[in-house]
Amino acid sequence: MKNIAILASGDGSNAEAIAKYFCNSDSVKVAAVLSNKENAGVHSRMKALEIPTFTFPRNEWNSPDEILDLLNRLDIDLIVLAGFLCMIQPSIIEAYASRIINIHPSLLPKYGGTGMWGHHVHEAVIAAQETESGITIHHVTNEVDGGEIIFQASCKVIEGDTPSILAQRVHELEYTHYPKVIEQLLLN
């Protein structure tokens, strides 16, 4: 069995899509969700799916010994960021070299980097009158949104789109592709 830990700070709709995708799998299990926010929507979504969640405040993400202990105890094979908004410290990146991935709601390298997350990305894409946006799944390194790209998929930006309409279209791409990319990384 390959074990995943999902890291999420917000609503957790990607965490839910991933958890549902693997819920009957004999080979991949979502072992836990780790968050930095006690009241994030991801906790109730995971409760409904009987997946344990753990909250560590930001200062613990900054010196993550306890977090590393937990990941070790859970025998984690892959760390999956899904709307996680804390920096991943070098000690975690070293311990899980090439085994931490992130999803970003744009076609990187466009609209990435510090401050570019969630609705900020979609606002910037619309303000720049882009006709295309999409998703990027990439390895996590010490550079924000800078790791090697594993997968990208695109969608149209349609005239009149608001950031929330575009976010919905991008989310659909995320739900379709993120679980499959995770599966390929773990099982190939």
Question: Nearest-CB residue to ligand GAR?
Answer: 83
Q: What track of x and - describes contact with ligand GAR for positions 75 through 104 (by CB under 6 A)?
A: -------xx-------------------xx
74, 110, 118, 146: which one binds ligand GAR (CB under 6 A): 118
Beta-sheet strands, E only, within the chain: 2-7, 28-35, 53-55, 78-81, 100-104, 132-139, 149-156
Least distance in Å: CB of 153 to ligand GAR? Answer: 12
Q: Give dist(CA 49, CA 187) in Å, integer.
A: 23
Residue (61 or 117) nearer to ligand GAR, CB = 117
- Starting at the edge strand found earlier in the chain, the sheet holding 149-156 runs 53-55, 28-35, 2-7, 78-81, 100-104, 132-139, 149-156
8 binds ligand GAR (CB under 6 A): yes
Contact 37, 4 (CB under 8 A): no
Least distance in Å: CB of 69 to ligand GAR? Answer: 25
Residue (12 or 147) nearer to ligand GAR, CB = 12
Residue (38 or 69) nearer to ligand GAR, CB = 38
105, 134, 147, 179: which one binds ligand GAR (CB under 6 A): 105
CB hemisphere CA count around 178 (13 angstroms): 32
163 binds ligand GAR (CB under 6 A): no
Of 124, 180, 188, 126, the closest CA to residue 153 belongs to 180
Q: Is 3 helix (H, G, I), strand (E, B) or coil?
A: strand
User: Which residues are annotated as catalytic?
Assistant: 104
β 78-81/53-55 pair status: unpaired
Contacts of 31 (CB under 8 A, 6+ apart): 3, 4, 5, 52, 74, 75, 76
Residue (11 or 60) nearer to ligand GAR, CB = 11
Residue tagged 């949104």 (tokens): 145
Residue (73 or 113) nearer to ligand GAR, CB = 113
2, 7, 10, 100: which one binds ligand GAR (CB under 6 A): 10
Contact set with ligand GAR (CB under 6 A): 8, 10-14, 82-83, 103-105, 117-118, 121, 171, 174
